[in-house]
Structure 1
């Protein structure tokens, strides 16, 4: 057989072990994996000394097109993801205008995405007040999951995303349980965090430290507990996004051990930037939930090392510079989102695998295997015969400093600029096609395809 691509001699990370092996790719799929493949190929890549892993599946990305393309569009966002070792992502239903909360807004999103993505993608649907009767049509249109906010979100603009009230959350869970969908939840107590923030501002307390104090640990834990209780009542499958505290992890793990269908994710910034560093770095490190203190961060690391974090995601939430940088010293007026998706893989591989000795197989489960299973992406997430050849190469000895000019975001700001990282993604393949090379940058034209999940539980790639 003649292959389209052979990747030779790399340390291939399988689901449960690592072996030096060759991978043969044909028609976008991994069609041969062996200690040595002796065959002709259109392209042969020498991966000796590098880890060969399934590409990251980032299930928490905010692409702001249509409506806010000046924040981040599909072209720039998917380039950054590709450069960071992500081969598939799931786009959140908010930050674009209109928000993706019904069939029409979903179709507008799809039209905007067509022909612009360098990697494969899937879409979320939103659960917001007033769209309970729209959930089924979103399911029919192939969204892979749904998202809601228990924290306050959105703006006064028409068709922007809104956080749920308790009735919408309860009835939405009942509906999604019937449809068989996962509901992803941003869990923070809206009433308490909003009032604490107002108190801070009235007292003239507007620093990064004050912002973090306005969203204390218990406000995350409280919302996690309430969501788990409602999910038990309704039978809804849950996924908690960007969990930032060890106590919240404990609550979710306890529920899982008691039989609930629930998973959780956290993000690189919660492991690599603490609240004191937030004060030093400034507005580019503002996010919600906030960055925690050093002791809380240590506890979260313990949960990750114990295997209690199901997934790592970026929560890439970009914005124009004027929303991050202004003459005001009021951190509450700054956009709360981090641009970070280009450094998901290398940053956490360095911190977790190289520095803390997390087994690389556990790392790959968090970035690839677990997301593929939870979000209905069965052709992805694993180095195995017949799977999509979504493959990344990572050099564990390539130390570099994150530079502004190397970022592909529409607006090149990130809390990681100037940070030294002890490894680097060197190549990214999507279905066997090279889309990023560390020396050449982004390769070729956008080839990303949308992945759908229909109401009957059947899967398709369009």
Structure 2
């Protein structure tokens, strides 16, 4: 099968249909899933036979910092979306920072679209940003197709994306009422990780979430808690849900895979905000995922240049907080989840269906049923591999900036299909980017016609 060409049909002994793995053939027409046949003897159609590799819906990663335009030395659409394709991610949603300019005005959003044109190997949607004073830009950005908005309740780390006050949040909520969009509010020896961890206690996260739940109940605007690291606020979130708050919450692969006790002194590649917490806290996050109290898992892929990680000094207080993991989300999750009784249906729900639903893409993405986009990942859940420099595809592949180097993971991606076209197959990519921009209102309108 030629990379970049349309795939007419995929046959496997293990196609994930709902909760069941079944021998089947997925027939694709015009970029959509046309049929799923249990009788694989179909004539007149070229078939990609993948043996016993699992075929299931591609992942939707709703939390990715691409950083283009303005900081393409950190990451860019070409490299980020290639890494996504190599990891079985068929759709990403770009965060409004750390690009310059940030996606906080209609004009800036239009510049972002121009920069991303012709560079995306997977489909790409976009978040807008809420900052002090940009309330008149929110509805124009909604009409232009952003998936929703992100804001910070503490310093974001970059000057061009300032944090909001309570007054700013009330103003933004009034602008967003009735739009159906979603708001995502955030919440001694510098070489010792414990020093940094103590500077970002659980209480900070809990207090920020308390404010968000109150606003969510007051305005009934959909709110989403990004990169939850602490299990302590989960009771608060559940109480708000019980009271009728339309609120969802995500955690990330690094909070589920890394533990504070294991971070070596000076290993600033482990720094992220909020910080990686204790093993006991991590087990509580896994229990919350199992119980359905956490809705989804994302990468929060946030690379930077080596100098910003302060590797030469190992100073956690000065290093940039961000972890690169876009390519390895599926095996990172499955390595730990499979040991805790999770099954493949859970992977699709947490890494694809719930993220697509939150971004208002669930009418076209994340399901292996006729009429949906033929976005598929082909992978071997039992096959193990070691994360090495040579198999990294995101921007910083030439630097040792990921905490996952040397880690043995379970689950190897063989191929990725985006809207019926093979964009990645066994270490090789399509010769040109085939991803599309997903402008949310346009996709929704098209689906209703």
**What TM-score do the two structures reach when normalised by structure 1?**
0.91
Aligned equivalents of 1:449, 1:124: Cα separation in 2 = 15
Equivalent runs, 1:110-149 vs 2, <5 Å: 110-149=113-152
Is the 2:7–2:421 contact (alpha carbons within 8 Å) kept by the matching residues of 1? no
Aligned equivalents of 1:232, 1:459: Cα separation in 2 = 32
Is the 1:22–1:37 contact (alpha carbons within 8 Å) kept by the matching residues of 2? yes
Equivalent position of 2:176 in the other structure? 176
Equivalent position of 1:372 in the other structure? 356
State the Cα distance separating 1:460 from its structure 2 match.
7.1
Report the aligned-residue RMSD. 1.9
Equivalent position of 1:14 in the other structure? 17
State the Cα distance separating 1:122 from its structure 2 match.
0.5
1:23 matched to 2:26: yes
Aligned equivalents of 2:354, 2:388: Cα separation in 1 = 31
State the Cα distance separating 1:454 from its structure 2 match.
2.8
Equivalent position of 1:335 in the other structure? 320
Equivalent position of 2:403 in the other structure? 415
Distance 1:41 1:175, change over 3 A: farther
Aligned residue among 86, 103, 106 for 1:103: 106
Aligned equivalents of 1:125, 1:101: Cα separation in 2 = 6
Is the 1:453–1:459 contact (alpha carbons within 8 Å) kept by the matching residues of 2? no
Distance 1:419 1:231, change over 3 A: same
1:259 matched to 2:244: yes
Question: CA offsets per residue over residues 168-225 of structure 1, 9 Å max, x none?
Answer: 11211221123221111222xxxxxxxxxxxx4xxx5552111011111111111111
DSSP 3-state at the match of 2:213: helix
Aligned equivalents of 1:370, 1:335: Cα separation in 2 = 29
Aligned equivalents of 1:232, 1:30: Cα separation in 2 = 39
Aligned equivalents of 2:49, 2:228: Cα separation in 1 = 38
Aligned equivalents of 2:242, 2:344: Cα separation in 1 = 25
Aligned equivalents of 2:416, 2:202: Cα separation in 1 = 37
DSSP 3-state at the match of 2:439: strand
State the Cα distance separating 1:4 from its structure 2 match.
4.2
Is the 1:124–1:146 contact (alpha carbons within 8 Å) kept by the matching residues of 2? yes
Equivalent runs, 1:155-234 vs 2, <5 Å: 155-156=158-159, 160-187=160-187, 200=188, 204-234=189-219
Aligned equivalents of 1:36, 1:281: Cα separation in 2 = 57
Is the 1:274–1:297 contact (alpha carbons within 8 Å) kept by the matching residues of 2? yes
Question: CA offsets per residue over residues 5-57 of structure 1, 9 Å max, x none?
Answer: 21112422234443332111111111010212332466422233222111100
Q: Aligned residue pairs: how many?
A: 439
DSSP 3-state at the match of 1:58: strand
Equivalent position of 2:415 in the other structure? 427
1:242 matched to 2:227: yes
DSSP 3-state at the match of 1:454: helix
Give the gaps of 5 or more residues in structure 2. Answer: 1-5
Aligned residue among 268, 279, 282 for 1:283: 268
1:78 matched to 2:81: yes
Distance 1:81 1:16, change over 3 A: same
Equivalent position of 1:195 in the other structure? none
Equivalent runs, 1:330-409 vs 2, <5 Å: 330-353=315-338, 355-377=339-361, 378-409=363-394
Is the 1:59–1:90 contact (alpha carbons within 8 Å) kept by the matching residues of 2? yes
Question: CA offsets per residue over residues 110-153 of structure 1, 9 Å max, x none?
Answer: 00000000000101110001101111111111101111111211
Give the gaps of 5 or more residues in structure 1. Answer: 188-199
Equivalent position of 1:436 in the other structure? 424
**What TM-score do the two structures reach when normalised by structure 2?**
0.93
Question: CA offsets per residue over residues 243-297 of structure 1, 9 Å max, x none?
Answer: 1122222322232233211111111110110112223581111001100011111
State the Cα distance separating 1:238 from its structure 2 match.
0.6
Equivalent position of 1:319 in the other structure? 304
